[in-house]
Amino acid sequence: MTSHRMQHLVPASIVLGLATIVAWLSFTQEPAEAFLFPRIIAVVFMVLAIWNFIRAATGLAKVGRGIEKQDAINLMPGLIVMLVLVFWAARALGFYVSSTLAFFAVYSLYDPAPLASTRDWLKRAVVTAAFMAVIYALFSLVLQVQTPRGLFI
pLDDT band, very low/low/confident/very high, at 36 (cuts 50, 70, 90): confident
What's the CA gap between 85 and 94, in Å, rounded? Answer: 10
Half-sphere exposure of 19 (CA within 13 A, CB side): 20
Angle at 74 between CA 71 and CA 79, to 5 degrees: 110
For residue 70, pLDDT over 70 is answered with: yes
Residue 79 is predicted with a pLDDT of 86
Q: How confident is the model at residue 3 (pLDDT cuts 50, 70, 90)?
A: low
State the Cα–Cα distance between residues 89 and 85, nearest whole angstrom. Answer: 5
Query: What's the average model confidence in pLDDT over 10-31?
Result: 86
Same domain, 58 and 108: no
Q: List, for residues 77-102, the tens digit of each pLDDT value.
A: 888 888 887 777 777 787 788 888 88
Q: ∠ CA 133-135-136 to the nearest 5 degrees?
A: 65
Reported pTM: 0.60
Distances from the Cα of 4 to the Cαs of 64, 66, 73, in angstroms? 9, 8, 20
Identify the pLDDT of residue 91: 74
pLDDT of 31 reads: 75
Pair 89, 149 in one domain: yes
**Domains of the chain: total:** 2
Residues 39 and 81 in one domain: no
Q: With a cut of 70, say whether residue 130 has pLDDT above it.
A: yes
Calpha distance 2→75 (Å, rounded) = 26
18: containing domain? 1-66
Please tell me the number of Cα atoms within 13 Å of 33 on its side-chain side. Answer: 1
Structure confidence at residue 64 (pLDDT): 63
